[in-house]
Chains A and B, each alone.
Chain A
Amino acid sequence: MSDLGHVLVLAGGVSFEREVSLASGRRVAEALRNLGVDVELVDVDAHLLPRLVSEPPSAVFVAVHGIEGEDGALRDALDLSGVPYVGATGAAARLAFDKATAKAIVARAGISTPASVALQHAAFRDLGGPVLLDRVVGRLGLPLVVKPVRGGSALGVSVVRDASELPQAMVGCYSYDTVALLEQCVAGTELAVSVVDTGDGPVALPAVEIEPVSGAFDYAARYTAGMTEYHAPARLDASVATKVAEVAVTAHRVLGLRDLSRTDLIVTADGEIEYLETNVSPGMTATSLLPLAAAAADIDLGALCRDLLQHAATRGMSAPGAPA
């Protein structure tokens, strides 16, 4: 048995990514169990906090995705409960989970990110929907990616190639979130770069290149094996591979993240790197990108999760509301 003690993997919850999260959680728990770690998979509901008090674990792995796992609230609750956990603090998660805020922070560090605007529905209601959409198209051009400013797994995301498709894309997006990010759609190679830090500072894993068979990396393409071709490591020149790793580590640092993250990027045909977003609770399913990157680096997923838990346990609890 491991000397880590009893650890919990939190998964599920009521976010739209519940199913993905449960798959992530099961995979992490199984990988840890294979190494002899005393691990338990626990859903996130009203029983969780009393349970953390009555049977405090040595550390928690947060495999909850979407609003519940990444908007900071769950992490704040873990801090309030005095439980060490793997991943960003609540404050840092809150910043990173908001794509518009994350883009602004990362851009200040000199990293290029596609031009975009984040708009609440109220802005369209008060200023006039069609008129404001015209302005957006006039300024950002087409095609555009419309996405909920907070969310993952491409839920509520549309690629708009013709202005007539925009209203429908906006309605679909606002069903997921109150704020929509309208972002220039940049053509290029889609990459995911995972960053891990088991105590020696953040290190980028090999970039994973994503080639959806249908052309769109939507929900089905993400979670149906066979619908996307992955290259790990990505087919990049060494200099570009180094640069994308630096961008992901920089994003991890400037967003104030810890332990693990996954940054999504586009590399254009002329080698420019465009930052899209950073996930503070990356997927861990059989088709998820961080496990693919770990495999490409010959890192055992269970060993990585165990080391991250060990690092969290050693670090101990964070002060509630600790800054990013």
Chain B
Amino acid sequence: MEFSGGSRLDPYVDRYAERTHGMTTSEIRALFAVANRPEIISMGGGSPFVSALPLDAIGEMTAKIVAERGAQALQYMGGQGDPRLRELICGVMALEGISASPDDVVVTVGSQQALDVVSRIFLDPGDVVIAEAPSYVGALGTFTQYQADVVHVQMDDAGLVPEALRAAIAQVAASGRRAKFLYTVPNYHNPAGITLVEERRDEIIAICAEANLLILEDNPYGLLGFDGPPLPALRARATEGVIYLGSFSKTFASGVRVGWAVAPPGVKEKLVMASEATTLCPVALSQYVVAEFLAHHPWQEQVKVYRELYRARRDACLDALAASFPTGSSWTHPAGGFYVWVTLPEGVDAKAMLPRAIQGRVAYVPGTGFYADGQGRRNLRLSYSLPDPERVREGVRRLAAVLDEEFEIVSTFGAGALDA
């Protein structure tokens, strides 16, 4: 077999849609392949500590579902999702002040699929999505695939800054483009670890209402706060103008891939149709498992177990950062969720440092992935959800040593090391 005429080894290379531009392998993916090895303390992925679940009980429950209701659990079902689960989801959302009817709920294959279908029904190429700076990498990836542009809005320790949001909306309008929605993670933000304070929530809603801008509220971590009851969701304050996304990935198990969207009626109908076109229906067995867990297990106790576990890991992470990270670095202090957002000393590039970190047997996610516009070189996300507290401490200590080495290298070559 000769290809002296030339071959790109992919006979379909000229047929792909424009949106596949950027779907390539990357050095970062290669590095993360190593990060999953047990020798490495991975503070990269946002995986829940599912070993804390009552696995035996879930196994028995699943077996019972298949034995007693297998003909339904292993069959197609309605595209909007299991009615019983949707009813139970309304009970879950009530804990964050949301009043919704099961008819408003669309079950999806994780909230990632909800992000996809919301993007599909709203975004045309060239549309604008307004999002926090930084923003969830999985959402940015979805918006990019629909060829939307992301305009970031500054956050401070109290969350999204209202004045910055106003300015971003005005800037988009002045450029003659159309912002379709604000994408926001108000609670225990991924990756920033910041929570939008209660005093700003109504103001954010009012700004968006005034600009006729939909809010896409993504709330996988809302029940995982360490300090008191959860704050009422944006959707709890406004039934119109907010599409709400929830997930069982962090409060139960990411592997069941069950999330949901709550949307105004017209939007909901389109979400169901878009979702059916993707998956026909969400996974029936997974929905039955989640519904059974919610209905017959003390699931709120399980969330409490998770909260206490993550609180201890968050404390370990913050203690180790304070003890070992150099002057010139700073980090957020999450009151819940999985993530600490670290800003490195001037001149250090977190993406360039990642290979050194992996050789130092610790992994994180570089900050640039959480921006659509190249910001974040001095930032990294640490996830404390998976390693136990001692491993979290050791991981941060290792990272501090890596940072010392990197800082020495950067210092050798001067400011140009980052500014080129």
Contact = CB atoms under 8 A, between A and B. Distances in A.
Interface of A: 14-20, 22, 45, 121, 124-125, 129-130, 133, 153, 155-156, 164-172, 174-176, 211, 213, 219-220, 223-233, 235, 286-287, 292, 295-296, 298
Contacts of B25: 219-220, 223-224
B39 A14 contact: yes
Nearest to A155: B27
Interface string B1-20: 11111111110110010000
Given A20-B30, A225-B10, 5 more contacts: A16-B355, A121-B409, A167-B420, A172-B349, A227-B24
Nearest to A17: B30
A220 B417 contact: no
A170 B8 contact: no
B318 interface: no
A292 B1 CA distance: 9
Nearest to B3: A232
Contact of A171 (B24, B39, B40, B417): B417
B10 A226 contact: yes
A121 B26 contact: no
Contacts of B31: 16
A220 B3 contact: no
B352 interface: yes
Contact of B355 (A176, A223, A225): A176
Interface of B: 1-10, 12-13, 16, 24-27, 29-31, 33-34, 37, 39-40, 349, 352-356, 358, 406, 408-410, 412-414, 416-420
Contacts of B413: 124, 129-130, 133, 166-168, 170-171
Nearest to B413: A167
Nearest to A234: B4
Nearest to A171: B417
B213 to A, nearest CB: 36
A49 to B, nearest CB: 16
Contacts of B37: 14, 18, 45
Nearest to A133: B413
B409 A232 contact: no
26 contacts: A19-B33, A22-B33, A124-B413, A130-B413, A155-B355, A164-B416, A165-B420, A167-B413, A170-B409, A170-B417, A171-B409, A171-B410, A171-B413, A175-B355, A176-B355, A219-B30, A223-B25, A224-B25, A225-B9, A225-B10, A227-B24, A231-B6, A231-B7, A232-B4, A233-B2, A286-B9
A230 B6 contact: yes
Contact of A167 (B8, B26, B414): B414
Nearest to B29: A19
B342 to A, nearest CB: 17
B9 A130 contact: no
Nearest to B358: A16
Q: What 7 pairs between A and B have smallest CB-CB spacing?
A: A167-B413, A225-B10, A226-B13, A19-B33, A167-B416, A226-B10, A129-B412
B253 to A, nearest CB: 26
B24 A229 contact: no
Contacts of B406: 171, 175
Contacts of A220: 24-26
A223 B353 CA distance: 22
A232 B5 CA distance: 8
Nearest to A296: B2
Contacts of A172: 349, 352
A213 B6 CA distance: 12
B11 to A, nearest CB: 9
B3 A231 contact: yes
B37 to A, nearest CB: 5
B417 A18 contact: no
Given A125-B408, A232-B4, A287-B9, A175 B420 contact: no
Contact of B8 (A125, A227, A232, A295): A227
Nearest to B416: A167
B212 to A, nearest CB: 40
A245 to B, nearest CB: 16
Contacts of B412: 121, 124-125, 129
Nearest to B5: A231
A231 to B, nearest CB: 5
A14 B34 contact: yes
A14 B355 CA distance: 12
A164 B420 contact: yes
Nearest to B347: A171
A240 to B, nearest CB: 14
A136 B275 CA distance: 58
A212 B1 CA distance: 21
A18 B34 contact: yes
B19 to A, nearest CB: 15
A230 B8 contact: yes
A130 B413 CA distance: 6
A20 B13 CA distance: 21
A65 to B, nearest CB: 11
